Every structure is written in C-alpha cells, then in structure tokens.
C-alpha cells in the first residue's frame, strides 16, 4: 500500500478532533534518576500501531468501515483512507476521533469497487502505517417492505425481479421475474419463477449478517418454505453464464401477502451482499 502524506497542519488537525494543542514529537528531560552524569535524555514519541480488525459493511450507496480500538494512551484519532485499486495510492477520506471506530463512506457509487485502509495517529501527529488487511467493497441497491401477493389471489403481483431495483411486485409469469410467493396446503413458499434462478433458505439470521453469497446449497426443487425471520439467497444466471446474487428477509405475513426486505448485487459474479443494519424507532423502520 502507498501512504500519501497529509497536507493538514498537524496542530490544527489534532486540535480539531480533541480540542487540545498537539504535543511535541520528542520531549527533552534534563535528568533521569540514576543517570545524572549522563546528561539530557531524549524520549522519542513513536507512532501508534496500525489498527487491526478492519472490515467493511456493504450498503446501498454507502460503505461502512469498522476496526478495533487502539490502546495507546496518547491516541488522538484515526485516518480513513480509500483507493480505487488494491496497490494504491490511498488517499485520505477523513479523520475521526479516538473514541470512534467506524466511518460511513457515502461518497461512493453502486457497482464500483473501493479499497480501504485505516491509520492511527497520536497527539504529536505521529501516524501509523496503513492497516494490513485487504478491505474492499462494492455497494449495491437494497429495499425494504416489498409486498408480494399470494399467487392464487393475484398472480399479477406475486413476483419480483431483483434486477429491476424497483421494490415493486410484478406478474409471476413475466420473463424477467425471479421469484414469486405461493401458498399450498396451508404452507407458504417462495419459488423460483424461471430457469436460471436458484434459491436457498439461509436460516434464522438477520439480513445484515448475510455478508457473502454461497456457491452451493441451492434447493433442488427451486422452492423453499417462507418463514418469518429467515433470510434467503437467490442466484440468477444469464445466457453468458454470469451470476448475480440477491438476498431477502421474510419480515411478516399479512392476509394473502408476504413482506420482504431485499438486497441485490448488480455487479456480475460479485458475491458481496451485506446490507445496512436497520433500526426501529416507534415501530417504524429507519
């Protein structure tokens, strides 16, 4: 990785984050006990260790970067860097204070891959090397509260095409439909709508935790039971053999309806699927 030097004044930078004036990089002490005859001793302030545990969370038009906290007593903050290539160069996005171990990068475009690294710096503006982990991410579209109507009740609103990114149901028998909702014998099912679509139940797991689409485990029948609080993976394969992955979460059932949250990776053959974590305020998804 290539680290580009900062252009900010170090004192301004540290003061902006902590409200304190930066300490000097080296302190000269007149005497040290037991060493009076050896003269002044220079105490060198070394840079912090590079942050570790850096990882990303894929979102819709946003990538969130997280890392483990450093333990240096004179830590002033962290620098978040980004590149468009793995070798670099990496350019500074922003500094964050020492009590913050995440950064949301909203200056990204869905379908474009970005590479990230994090540094730590102290009150004297000594800065660590870039974090060693290879962290890259490709943001992708997502949607919430998609309502599908049971096939036997209204086939024109039973299906969904993930690549449409519309968040709007469509007819189950359209050539572009990927999945549809049907109840048979009192059991609710999500079914593939056409050849070239695979589906699997990923279990009782929240959608944000489904980070990477699997290569195997597809339901041989192309049909899975739809269960509240389960997440599901969908793979679509085009005529050229390229795959796109999607995921959805069964939020609840209504009278002849199912409500889903979903995410779709529009970049062919890219299996990143993590969604932005949801919060609920007063019963409303934020």
Whether the predicted pLDDT of 33 surpasses 80: no
Residue closest to 106 by CA, chosen among 94, 90, 88: 94
- How high is the pLDDT of residue 16? 54
Average pLDDT of 218-241?
A: 96
Q: What is the mean pLDDT of residues 205-215?
A: 87
274, pLDDT greater than 50: yes
Helix (H, G, I), strand (E, B) or coil at 97: strand
Q: Give residue 112's pLDDT.
A: 86
Q: Using alpha carbons only, give the angle 134, 136, 137 rounded to the nearest 5 degrees.
A: 160
Judgement on whether residues 171 and 78 belong to the same structural domain of the protein: no
- For residue 122, is it within any domain? yes
- pLDDT of residue 85 exceeding 80, the answer is yes
In a domain, 1, yes or no: no
pLDDT at site 86: 85
Q: What is the mean pLDDT of residues 108-137?
A: 91
Domain housing 155 = 142-285
Q: Write down the pTM of the prediction.
A: 0.62
User: Is 50 within a domain?
Assistant: yes
Respond yes or no on whether the N-terminal peptide bond of residue 89 is cis (omega within 30° of 0).
Answer: yes
197 close to 236: Cβ distance less than 8 angstroms: yes
- pLDDT class of 72 with cuts at 50, 70, 90: very high
My answer on whether 196 and 105 are in the same domain is no
Counting the structural domains of the chain, the total is 2
The predicted model gives 119-142 an average pLDDT of: 89
Whether residues 95 and 38 share a domain: the answer is yes
Could you say which of 137, 171, 191 is where a domain stops? 137
Q: Does residue 77 belong to any structural domain of this protein?
A: yes
Residues whose CB falls within 8 Å of the CB of residue 186, separated by 6 or more in sequence, listed in order: none
pLDDT exceeds 70 at position 27: no
Report DSSP letters for 237-282, one per residue: E-TTS-EEEEEEEEEEEETTEEEEEEEE--STT--B-PPPPP-EET
Residue pLDDT, tens place only, 45-71: 799 999 999 998 878 888 999 999 999
Q: What is the pLDDT of residue 39?
A: 53
Please choose, from the candidates 137, 141, 162, the residue with its C-alpha nearest in 3D space to the C-alpha of residue 244: 162
């Amino acid at each position: 990785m290539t680290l580009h030097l900062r252009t900010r004044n170090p004192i301004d930078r540290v003061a902006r984050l902590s409200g304190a004036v930066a300490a000097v990089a080296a302190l000269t002490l007149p005497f040290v006990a037991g060493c009076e005859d050896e003269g002044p001793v220079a105490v060198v302030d070394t840079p912090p260790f590079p942050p570790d545990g850096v990882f990303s969370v894929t979102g819709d038009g946003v990538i969130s970067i997280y890392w483990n906290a450093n333990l240096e007593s004179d830590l002033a903050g962290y620098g978040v860097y980004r590149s468009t290539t793995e070798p670099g160069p990496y350019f500074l996005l922003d500094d964050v204070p020492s009590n913050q171990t995440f950064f949301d990068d909203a200056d990204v475009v869905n379908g474009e891959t970005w590479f990230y690294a994090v540094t730590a710096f102290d009150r004297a503006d000594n800065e660590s090397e870039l974090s060693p982990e290879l962290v890259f991410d490709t943001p992708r579209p997502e949607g919430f509260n998609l309502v599908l109507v049971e096939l036997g009740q209204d086939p024109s609103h039973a299906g969904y095409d993930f690549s449409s990114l519309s968040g709007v149901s469509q007819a189950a028998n359209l050539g572009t439909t990927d999945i549809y909702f049907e109840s048979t014998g009192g059991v609710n099912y999500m079914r593939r709508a056409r050849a070239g679509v695979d589906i699997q139940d990923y279990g009782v797991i929240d959608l944000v935790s489904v980070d990477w689409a699997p290569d195997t485990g597809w339901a041989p029948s192309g049909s899975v039971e739809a269960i509240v609080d389960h997440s599901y993976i969908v793979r679509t394969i085009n005529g050229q053999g390229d795959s796109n992955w999607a995921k959805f979460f069964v939020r609840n059932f209504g009278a002849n309806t199912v409500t889903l949250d979903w995410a779709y990776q529009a970049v062919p053959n890219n299996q990143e699927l993590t969604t932005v974590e949801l919060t609920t305020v007063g019963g409303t998804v934020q």
